[in-house]
Amino acid sequence: MNEYSDRELIQLFREGDNPHYAFNLIVEKYKERLYWHIRKIVIRHEDTDDVLQETFLKVWDALPGFRGDSALFTWLYRIATNEALAHLRKSRNRFFIPWDDVERQLAGSLESDPWFSGNELQKKFQKAILSLPEKQRIVFNMRYFDEMPYEQMAQILKTSEGALKASFHHAVKKIEKYMEEH
């Protein structure tokens, strides 16, 4: 596949003869990265697939109005993050369960997930991440696993770099404490 830049993909979508083709190129370019970003938030493979599909439906609907104020990648991550968080909120509200129970449910899903192939230390690490508050967990995942710069995270999460650095620092400390205690 010819590797198009984001700018070329947007131009192909807007000005090309086949916007579906351009959209499919966008999906192919970003589906794996978005899958793993969403998966770190919602944990279950099946839920991740659903959220990824919802993400791309939203992208399809909103792409004609994409102004390019941010990078395509940043915009896609913002939509994926919002969809993943909305999914967690819907799950919590549907069963009337507090957020702490959602975290326990996610940790339980990790234990029984046939798609997770980590050893005991990796499971412990993932459980430590799941014990974090929602925002700290997302910031930690984006920084630690995706190695995303704070500037880019600030655009995606619409917050300051300083707040993100503080969230990451607190997340690391909490994870260290969890790993020592469990």
Q: Which of 178, 87, 164, 89 is nearest to 132 (CA)?
A: 178
Q: Judge whether residue 100 has pLDDT over 60.
A: no
* pTM of the predicted model as reported, rounded to 2 decimal places: 0.80
- Lowest mean pLDDT segment, chosen from 13-27, 107-121, 133-147, 163-177: 107-121
Q: Which domains does the chain have, with CATH numbers?
A: 1-96 (1.10.1740.10), 118-182 (1.10.10.10)
Q: Does residue 55 contact residue 92 with C-beta atoms inside 8 Å?
A: no
Q: Does residue 171 contact residue 140 with C-beta atoms inside 8 Å?
A: yes
Q: Judge whether residue 109 has pLDDT over 90.
A: no
